[in-house]
Structure 1
Amino acid sequence: RAYEDSQGHLLSFLSAFLNRTDEVRKASIILKNSNPENAEREIVRILKMEHFSENRKRFVLGRLRRESHLFTQEVLEYVYSFIIELNIRAKSSPIKDEKNLYFLEKMEKLFMMLSN
């Protein structure tokens, strides 16, 4: 039962991580291909943030700008492959990785990539 709970938490994390990665990828593309005035409006529209308060929009847009510089194409490709691998392992692997060593190894590599 404890293993099933930890698997559920891992899958929830992977879903949230995938959603954030998608937001950063979309923002990166828009920021590269649009002029600055239109980029913010386009990001708000694409990410469906119209109902956010102005302060919340400003905060999210600032965060996305910073994260889009960190998450290069190489990092994004790694993150997507990492999420897919972990999702497959979590759903189909009969081997119980109680200490989550595979996950920790992949996260360590991600942080190394982001720190360069």
Structure 2
Amino acid sequence: MDTAEQEFLKALDGKLWKAADRLRNNLDAANYKHVVLGLIFLKYVSDAFEERQAELRHLFTEGAPDQSGDNNLYYMPRDDYDSDEEYEEAVNAELELHDYYQEKNVFWVPKQARWDFIKSTAALPIGS
């Protein structure tokens, strides 16, 4: 690990401890662990979901063969749609289907439970 990475991790560690201290002031110790572990789990599943979603978007929009050399069965040809908006709507609708996530053992996360949504609707700015 280089010096920049070590400094970043040290700063991150400090920010996490400050946030934990603020949270501990408002919660009973017995309940604190449930909140923190729940948030950590939610962040993990949201990250895995977003990673799979990005992979799927690429598969839906790129017609190239997959890694094994087979044809991309997920590909959605742009020519099948009348407009770019219609195509984008179809891709976005396809991205919300649970089966694509379950086939790779990834939790499907509802829109209102996704980390970005929670972060954007937080009462206080992150880090305050």
TM bin, normalised by shorter chain, reads: 0.3 to 0.5
What is the TM-score of this pair, normalised by structure 2?
0.35
What is the TM-score of this pair, normalised by structure 1?
0.38
**Bigger Rg over Cα:** 2
Higher helix share: 1
